[in-house]
Amino acid sequence: MVDHDGGDARRTTFPAPSLIAGAFVGRAWNDAEDDEVVARMKSVVYSRTGDPSVLRLVDRDVTEPAPGEVRVRVVVSGVNPTDWKSRVGSGAGAAPPFPEVTPNQDGAGVIDAVGEGVENLAVGDRVWVYLAGHQRPTGTAQEYTNLPAARVVRLPAATSFDIGASLGVPAMTAHRALTVSEDGPKRLYPGALSGKVVLVAGGAGAVGHAAIQLARWAGATVITTISGPAKAALATAAGADHVINYREDNAAGAITKLAPDGVDLIVEVAIAANAQLDIDVLKPRGSIAIYANDGGEEFSLDVRQNMIKNLRYQFVLLYSVGDAAIVAAVEDITLALGDEALPVGEYAGLPLHRFPLAETADAHQAVQDGAVGKVLIDV
């Protein structure tokens, strides 16, 4: 489980006056030599891959943001499957990509320092962050994290930190999945999906939840699949128009009854399990956006069935979608937040499970065990 250590070879000192001018009230401080003081923070780190026990709660120095970066005082850290998958890596005991990694890509908080050259963000801004730990060691399971300004987005005044910490991986992935069809739309806004039928596989999942919300906000009719009544209630609370239990007989027939002309787009979490259902319910020139391998690593395609319908398969991985897709997602999600279209919590179909920072290992385990809803860490 989590333990403590106080060492840090990368200790940084600052002259005291600049700290007093900063936003460090209420945080831990250590006096250093020559009137210099060093801001210290709690941080969760791992230095080898493995089960949640590799996560350690340690004290680390708060560092200044580099040019082009901002420092965020993290209030809520969001946990996604990718966070435990990265922690597990290619096998227990391997070296992670950096000597020490702080997990968790998503989070929300307040900017408390701005690096040179950053013009569009300011100290005091309430923000959400995405891809915090992508190709860098600075995830959100710590009190302060330094990030490129491009990965930090202002939250509308009415948007909570809980929503902010739930956006990054799920909402951006859902946005990409909803914008890859041949006939569009390429962007989401109210009306963008009017007249379209979207099938969201697994509507009680975190990405499925975001896909339902974004698709409904954009005007689609949303059908979703779930595995039982509790998840049906959540998917309905998220806004799905129709909920189908994929474990019951003839789910494809039930979907086709709801959408006799076929569905336009499928947001797919388990293609290996659902490949035939997807072909059966899609309309000609429909698309399947595949963002996960939850149904298995491989699936086969019947050439004739796919050819007859002119179907399109688009794989989605947030890490490699490219800058244009990221910018589009940020802008459209910001618009949706302004319309209060992305609420979280059980009433909105996404129950929240909270953990303190010291219990980050338990938070990771909960996601790994398939927690229904969103796992958040109060930093």
Considering the rule CB under 6 A, would residue 352 count as an interface residue with ligand NAP?
A: no
Q: Calculate the alpha carbon distances from 362 to 93, 367, 377 in Å.
A: 19, 9, 10
Going by C-beta distance under 8 Å and a sequence separation of 6 or more, which residues neighbour residue 87? 46, 49, 50, 52, 54, 55, 101, 103, 364
* CB closer to ligand NAP, 204 vs 279: 204
Using CA atoms, how far apart are residues 56 and 4, in angstroms rounded to an integer?
A: 6
Q: Which of residues 136-155 bind ligand NAP (CB under 6 A)?
A: none
Which one, of 183, 184, 215, 217, lies nearest residue 197 by Cα? 215
Q: Name the pairing type of β-strands 374-378 and 352-356.
A: parallel
Closest to 183 measured CA to CA, from 274, 298, 314: 314
The distance of closest approach from Cβ of residue 27 to ligand NAP in the complex, given in angstroms and rounded to an integer, is 31
* 40 or 151: CB nearest ligand NAP: 151
Among 141, 153, 206, 333, binds ligand NAP (CB under 6 A): 206
Which residue has the closest beta carbon to ligand NAP? 205
Structural contact between residues 77 and 165, judged by C-beta atoms closer than 8 angstroms: yes
Q: Does 201 bind ligand NAP (CB under 6 A)?
A: yes
By CB under 6 A, which span of 48-56, 127-135, 311-319, 352-360 interacts with ligand NAP?
311-319
Which pair of structure tokens corresponds to residue 92? Answer: 């227990």
Strands 29-31 and 69-79: unpaired
Member of 43, 49, 77, 80 binding ligand NAP (CB under 6 A): 80
Residue from 252, 273, 341, 348 touching ligand NAP (CB under 6 A): that is: 273
Indicate whether 231 belongs to the interface with ligand NAP (CB under 6 A).
Answer: yes
Of 207, 263, 344, 377, the residue at the interface with ligand NAP (CB under 6 A) is 207
Residue 182 CB, nearest distance to ligand NAP (Å)?
20
Interface with ligand NAP (CB under 6 A), residue from 225, 236, 287, 360 = 225
Q: With binding defined as CB under 6 A, does residue 169 bind ligand NAP?
A: yes
Q: Which of 318, 326, 329, 377 binds ligand NAP (CB under 6 A)?
A: 318
Per the CB < 8 A criterion, the answer to whether 328 and 179 are in contact is: yes
Under 8 Å between Cβ of 110 and 102: no
The site for ligand NAP (CB under 6 A) is made up of: 80-82, 169-170, 173, 201-202, 204-208, 225, 227, 231, 246, 269-270, 273-274, 291-292, 294-295, 316-318, 370
